[in-house]
Amino acid sequence: MDVTISPSRIDGRTRAPPSKSYTHRAILAAGYGGQATVLNPLVSADTKATMRAVDAFGGDTDLSADESSLSVSGFDGRPEVPADVVNCENSGTTMRLVTACAALGDGLTVLTGDDSLRSRPQGPLLDAVTDLGGRGESTRRNGQAPLVVGDAMDGGTVSIPGDVSSQYISALLMAGAVTDEGIDIELETELKSAPYVDITLELLDEFGVEAEQTADGFSVAGGQSYDPTGGEYEVPGDFSSISYLLAAGAIAAAEGESVVVEGARPSAQGDAAIVDIVRDMGADVTWDRDAGELTVSRATLTGTTVDVGDTPDLLPTIATLGAVADGDTVIENCEHVRYKETDRVSAMADELGKMGASVTEEQDRLTIHGGETDLVGATVEGRHDHRIVMSLAIAGLVAEGETTVTGAEHVDVSFPNFFDAIESLGVSVRRE
């Protein structure tokens, strides 16, 4: 699907979708347990992949008709060996969380995904599984899917790099709770995207599992059970998705009007940093934490410098804001953002460039020269990446002329009703 955005002035109220990160973890946590209900889950292409994995491991996921709740009958600790290959589609979170889970099985599980997912690095996690007494292999021996994992991982102590993906640590912590020995993780390097491990620790606590950060890494005791209080867990709103709505309000709210974003309940999400980033750039933002509401008005923005070491998913949003702001916006510490659904650093440099942005790309830094940029409408490629699609659509709100984003259907990964949401605020959207 191609979507064409025309310059628009917006106002009104909309709601952010539930958090994808929390939903993935909640589905699998419920799978590790006996019986639990996940309230307000994000139902998307990625989270459906995690549901299918839980089903493959012997659990049963049952989504309510209105998709407001997900009932999960778990596999109670150790997963069964799936009868078929587990296809994680385009979901890196699913593959990594499920890799550690599959390693607990007595037999072997084969994990695969689409072309993009089969190009992403899994080697450090496979090595960790092997060091912990399981089997973890890449069929092509290149550290990439398809993967073969299993042989009843025991637990123990393992050393792993922290600068490739925090999802390795989250996967091992979740699996470690049901091993006999537990797992102690020693980090070999500085941890990137640390708030995502904080999300895991927060969710584990909600499910009655004790895990902690240590002087040199993380630790989770074995022999634990997953059992949320009252048998239910409610997913908070997603700040990665909120970032697009905040950016839209900051650059395109109608004169004297504002955009209100519901579902902004405080949590461990590192991407809540977008609130301070937009404020630092000059936008008028208020956050009613009790109500979970953000209100933003349009303002003249100025460039800023942002380290995205802990918030990689914000890079596309910040790049779009930088293209509208006066002066330079420098996004630092971003090399790991190249290993997402696509190389998001190059993708934003190239696609914003098609719209007239002046951009300097370096391996670990992206600089958007807003003072040298006048955005114009163009046909830009979504790169099969939901975050690229949404960020470019937001840029189209203030570009001169129409902006067409190809492959726009990929918003289904994290924000399925994104175009409905911005259309409700007054954005001119044409779907083809």
The terminus-to-terminus CA distance of the chain in angstroms comes to 6
To 5 degrees, how large is the angle CA 182–CA 183–CA 188? 170
Residue 243 known to bind ligand? no
Please, are residues 395 and 403 in contact by the beta-carbon 8 Å criterion?
yes
Nearest to 12 by CA among 240, 238, 286, 245: 245
Q: Is 20 assigned to a binding site?
A: yes
Angle at alpha carbon of residue 263, lines to 259 and 268, rounded to 5°? 120
Please list the helix, strand and coil fractions of the chain in percent, rounded to the nearest 5, in that order: 35, 25, 40
Q: Which of 318, 330, 337 is nearest to 391 (CA)?
A: 318
- Catalytic, 313? Answer yes
Distance between alpha carbon 357 and the CA centroid of its chain, in Å? 26
The response to whether 313 counts as a known ligand-binding position is yes
Q: Answer yes or no: is 267 a known binding residue.
A: no
Q: Which residue has the tokens 């709505």?
A: 245
Annotation-wise, does 298 bind a ligand? no
Beta bridge partners of 70: 38, 63
| 387 marked as binding residue | yes
| 193 labelled ligand-binding | yes
Q: Binding site annotation covers 122?
A: no
User: Measured on CA atoms in the order 222, 130, 23, 264, is the torsion positive or negative?
Assistant: positive
| Three-state secondary-structure class, residue 356 | coil
d(CA 425, CA 11): 5
Q: By C-alpha distance, which of 124, 44, 21 is closest to 412?
A: 44
Q: Which residues pair with 39 in a beta bridge?
A: 69, 234
The answer to the question of whether 48 is labelled as a binding residue is: no
Catalytic residue among 184, 313, 328, 412: 313
- 25 marked as part of a ligand binding site: yes
Active site residues: 313
Q: Which residues are documented as binding site?
A: 20-21, 25, 92, 120, 165-167, 193, 313, 340, 344, 387
Binding-site positions for phosphoenolpyruvate: 20, 92, 120, 167, 344, 387
- Extract the annotated binding site for 3-phosphoshikimate: 20-21, 25, 165-167, 193, 313, 340
